[in-house]
Amino acid sequence: MDPLLTKLEAASLGEEKDDRRKDEIDEEEEDDGIDISDIIPSTSPVPRPRPNGRQTGPKGVLADHAYYKSVMSQAQDARTRAHNARVLAKAATTTTHHEDEEAAKDEAELVIQELEVEEARNDEDREALKQYRQKRLEELQALNAAATKRKQFGSVQEITSAQYASAVDNEWRTVPVIIHLFDNSIPQCRLVHEHLQHLARKYTLAKFLKVQARDVEFDLVESPAILAYKGGVLVANLVRVTDEVGETGFDADKVEDMLLKYGAISEEDIFEVTATTTEDDDDD
C-alpha cells in the first residue's frame, strides 16, 4: 500500500476518535445539568483553548479535558459559596451547639447566684429576728428587774378622809393611785369594790384604795365613783361608773377596760408575783 494513503487513513481515524470523545464529554455535561454560563464567574472566565489552526488528536482531547475540569471546579466553588451565603444569612438567629452550651452554663450560674442571694437574705432576716428577740427578752428582763424594785401592793386598802391627801401626795410618782369613793348601802358600790379587789391582785404596781364617800362629803348620787392620781395629779375622774359599765351585771373586765381607757392604769402596772420575788422580799 502507498505510504501516503496509509498516513491519510490514520489521520482520518484519529479525527473521528477526537470527535467521538468530544461528543461524550458534551453528553456528560448535559447529564450533570450544569449550565456553564451560570457557573463560570464573569470576572474571571476560563478561556477555552483556541489553538492556531485545527488541533486534533491527543493534544486536542487533553486540552478539552483540562477545560472541562476547570469548569467543574468553578461550579463546585459556586455551589460552596451559595451554601455559605445561606448559612451566614441564618447566622443572626441561629447559634452553634457550643454557644448553646455556654448560654446554658451562664443561665445556670445566674440561677445559682440568685439562690445564694436569696439564702443570704434569709440568713440576714433570721439573724435580725434573733437579735430582735434577744433585745426584747433583755428589755422584759430589765423591766421585770425594775418592777421588783418598785413598790408592790396587791390589795384594796381602806383609808380615812384624813389620810386621803398623804396617800396621794406622798406616793412615788410612778405609782398610780386608784381611790374608790364607795358606800356599802349601794349595791353597785359593793360590786365595783369586788372587781377592784381582783384588779389589785393583777395590777400589783398600782395602789388601790377605798374611802367612805360620806367622809369626804361626796354626793352619793354620783356613786359609785373612782378617782385616779399619778404624781399627785388627777388623771381620771370617773363619777357614776355605772354610766360606763352598766347598772347591773357588769364584770371585772368592763371595769378594767374603763380604767385602761381613761389612763387610770396601764399594762406596765401588771406584775406577777413569783415565789422567788416573795423569798427575796422575806429576806429583806
User: What are the structural domain ranges in the chain?
Assistant: 14-47+56-83, 105-149, 156-283
Residue ranges in 91-186 assigned as alpha helix (H): 97-149, 164-169
- Position 91 pLDDT exceeds 90: no
Average pLDDT over residues 169-193: 93
- With 0.75 as the threshold, say if the pTM is over it: no
For 104-134, what is each residue's pLDDT tens digit?
778 888 888 888 888 888 888 888 888 888 8
Q: Dihedral of the CA atoms 122, 123, 127, 130 (nearest 10)?
A: 60
- Is the per-residue pLDDT at 19 higher than 80? no
Q: Give the three-class secondary structure for 101.
A: helix
| Angle value at C-alpha 160, between 158 and 166, nearest 5 degrees | 95
The pLDDT of residue 201: 93
Rounded mean pLDDT, 193-208: 94
pLDDT at 144 exceeding the cut of 90? no
Give dist(CA 230, CA 176) in Å, integer. 5
Residue where the block lists cell 408592790: 152
What is the pLDDT of the chain when averaged over all its residues? Answer: 76
The pLDDT value recorded for residue 75 is 81
CA gap 153, 205 in Å, rounded? 6
Task: Tell me which of 38-42, 146-150, 154-158, 203-207 is least confident.
Answer: 38-42
pLDDT digits (tens, 9 = 90+) for 269-279: 987 554 444 44
Please state, in angstroms and rounded to a whole number, the distance separating the CA atoms of residues 272 and 257: 19
Q: What is the CATH number of domain 156-283?
A: 3.40.30.10
Q: All 3 cell numbers of residue 81? A: 459559596
Is there a contact between 245 and 255 (Cβ–Cβ < 8 Å)?
Answer: yes
The answer on pLDDT for 100 being more than 80 is no
Q: How is residue 263 annotated by DSSP?
A: T
